[in-house]
């Protein structure tokens, strides 16, 4: 069984922080680049961040630069998304997905079509 599972979402106030986890089971995540995506009600899924298989390369969309940090612990088969200074517009379901290569779309905004397996997503709500 091959699976990606996101966790760590919840309700936080503006300016708060949250750390999301993306855990792989049934395969070795260290072979894959991982992208983070989010989808708000009534909007299309948008790419947020990418990390290479080794963790050497990371990219972020402009709207989250300086606030979000993607990292990974390959010994734990896990990729993280640390979200600081959260804003109401960050409210969305956040999902992770893998890729056998580092997509060129990650240099601007990761394209969901460049990624394969997906997790079920975790809800992040930023509200006072």
Q: For residue range 20-76, list pLDDT tens digits in order.
A: 999 999 999 999 999 999 999 999 999 999 999 999 999 999 999 999 999 999 999
Q: Could you tell me which residues are beta bridge partners of residue 22?
A: 6, 79
Q: What is the spatial distance between Cα 51 and Cα 59, in angstroms, rounded to a whole number?
A: 7
Strand 122-126 to strand 10-12: parallel, antiparallel, or no bridges (unpaired)?
Answer: parallel
List the alpha helices (DSSP H) in the chain: none
Q: Could you tell me which residues are beta bridge partners of residue 99?
A: 33
pLDDT at residue 2 greater than cutoff 90:
no
At 24, list the tokens: 């792989």
Positive or negative: CA dihedral 87, 113, 108, 55: positive
pLDDT at residue 1 greater than cutoff 90:
no
């Amino acid at each position: 069984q091959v699976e990606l599972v996101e966790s760590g979402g919840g309700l936080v106030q503006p300016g708060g922080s949250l750390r999301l986890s993306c855990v792989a089971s049934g395969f070795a995540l260290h072979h894959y680049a991982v992208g983070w995506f989010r989808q708000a009600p009534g909007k299309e899924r948008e790419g947020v961040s990418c990390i290479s298989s080794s963790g050497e390369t990371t990219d972020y969309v402009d709207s989250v630069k300086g606030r979000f940090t993607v990292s990974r612990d390959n010994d734990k088969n896990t990729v993280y998304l640390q979200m600081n200074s959260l804003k109401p517009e960050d409210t969305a379901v956040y999902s992770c997905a893998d890729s056998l290569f580092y997509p060129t779309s990650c240099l601007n905004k990761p394209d969901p079509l460049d990624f394969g397996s997906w997790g079920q997503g975790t809800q992040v709500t930023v509200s006072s």
